[in-house]
Structure 1
Amino acid sequence: MSRTLIITNDFPPRAGGIESFVHELARRRPEGSVLVYCSSPDDADRTADPHFDLRQPFPVVRDAARVLLPTPRVARRARAIAEMEGCDSVLYGAAAPLGLLAAGLRPLVRRQVALTHGHETGWTVVPGGSSVLRRIGQTVDTVTYLGEYTRRRLTRSLSPAAASRMRRLAPGVDTERFRPGVGGDEVRQRLGLGRRPVVVCVSRMVPRKGQDTLIRAWPRVLAEVPDAVLLFVGDGPYAPRLRSAARGTDSVRFTGPVPADELPAHYDAGDVFAMPCRTRWDGLDVEGLGMVYLEASATGLPVVAGASGGAPDAVLEDWTGHVVDGSVPGPTARALIRLLKDPDRAAQMGVHGREWVSGEWTWDRTLERLDGLLEGPGAAP
């Protein structure tokens, strides 16, 4: 059986979208076909789940460093692991900068694939970043992309040959886990929401996600739908500022951090999902895709997404939801009012969204594509 070495800084118990994507790819590969070499979690993550590595169905080799960099030491250890474990392919959890290890591993392995997630587009606008991406593209067999936005941005930095080898690889959605009727009523009862219309936002609380835009838009929404509730699910460094901005109103609620196994029920507690993300710092801080929109669609909710980076790739405009300018509150308010005041139309969008995700965003399709990339013939020049 062929064996893949995954080299990554983005891996649980550290939380995040990239971490979840890489972990799911590893977890869903055939038994005995995967080995992970990754950085050490910080103290808080290690304390929260001290036995995470032992529960995995594959070996996890932790480096002592909190961040893996393509240094000679890391390169030597990666080569030693690949040789000792008989790995014939390498998957980089994020292309930059660890993809720079590819040249040194080339004599040992047949295939090398570098994942991108959206933040790599920032490398295209910082000094020296494009040259790093170009070197990586020349030495790996494939650089993946989430959607058309990331493909277009990354192509600017890659050679024509490397750009021609790019392939789309996006996370899948577990439509059995994220589905209508998966526990939303219980969440509503626990939070005392009754049958009030609920706009839910499930996300890490950072400025890019646009939770503050929702709060600024909320008075306009309440003027049209007075009994509506805005429910924020999650935590992050922006949380204190958001709580302060919403102080004094009963119609804005915060759950704080929620265990992963309870997230589907919190989506299901909503009538509309909204996260009006926006691009910041002239493109350095941008949404790569936005899996939360697809998880909400799988749960049967219409979505309101911000027009940042690849987020529009996760929405079919006026079919599964709406894409708005998340930098100002007006467009978000108008989209929410339309959906809340026309529940039949909103419900139909939710049906369309679940059908779309079930057909186009499955893990089976993602894994089939990954198999083709790891098992394909040849190697990069």
Structure 2
Amino acid sequence: MSIKAFIEQRWYGRVGILYLLTPLSWCFAAIAARRKRRLQAEAILAPVQTLVVGNIAVGGTGKTPVIIALVKFLQAKGLRPGVVSRGYGRQDTQLQFLPAYIDTHPSTEIHSDATAGLVGDEPLLIYTATACDVAVAADRVAAVACLVEHGCDVIIADDGLQHYRMGRHFELAVIDGVRVFGNGHLLPVGPLRELPERLRDVDWVLVNQSQQQDTDIQARKLAQIHAYVQNQTQEASCFNVALTVTGLSRVDGRGGLDGDETRMSLTQLADLSGVVALAGIGDPEKFFETLAGFTKLQERRIFPDHHQYCAEDFANIGDKPVVMTSKDAVKCRTFAKPNWYALEVAMQLPEAFLAGVERSLIAQTKTAQASPNK
């Protein structure tokens, strides 16, 4: 067992020997608290509405599909949202701006200079899926300023819950409905960046459920989350969401725009043999579990989160069909074979949640736009 696997086993199970690291968790809590106070005192609030989307634990929780769905919702309401991201795993350190475009051509042609190495895999995925403005920088405040300068009237900050120097008008926490809070401890004993009580301060909580999870287990875990959210002074704002698999698309993006060559149905996926499943994400097992519900997997390959792929990573696969996540696919387009596919998923946001966003964030944005002082 690798060190990473051992630690995750303890994080999402019994703490065991990691209890010996408890003094380090105390230090982490003290340092994080001081940092939070200092950065909040220095916080810079943008002149447009800013919504931070994040979580209180390390690892993937499904923030990217949530952000994509939110951006599309705001666009449908006539707004111009922009997304700020740190761009984890990218090789460039400069602020990068990807301008919005009119979606009338294949995504492989958009902003041809944009690569995952330049901006990061998640920002590139958001950009190709939504056509919205995206600014990538370690300095989130500078990235926000860049988007405001380019005319964005709403800012969505990807994974910015703990970046307190970046002011915010609203906060949305996305929680993994399977892993929840793990063993409940702060790093390094557990997976938490902040304790669950932090959820009482956010405006909304989305719980990303697994469709494969037993309903009784699911109910117990939801109760665990609601116990921390229900004491909020504001209106109850915890909602359940789930990813829906919509089909597959060719990783290389080639073929006719309307044709069967670029896409594969889930029925066709079931007929494939010798499928190699590949994932370089925070929780690869969730992807494999989902994919195995549609087809038999011959092999599962796990790469580090944000891994920058090259053709050599696939040298011994031969002509076997490959299915990967959309996040992995944006890094493999230039050398992908015709039988490599990305599993496409969509997040359906609850109507009650969207109504809350419309009553608050959208209403305040439109009020500011109508103000004569704007």
Shorter-chain TM range is 0.3 to 0.5
Q: More strand by proportion, 1 or 2?
A: 2
TM normalised by structure 2 equals: 0.41
* Bigger proportion of residues as helix: 1
Larger RCO of the pair (alpha carbons < 8 Å, separation 6+): 2
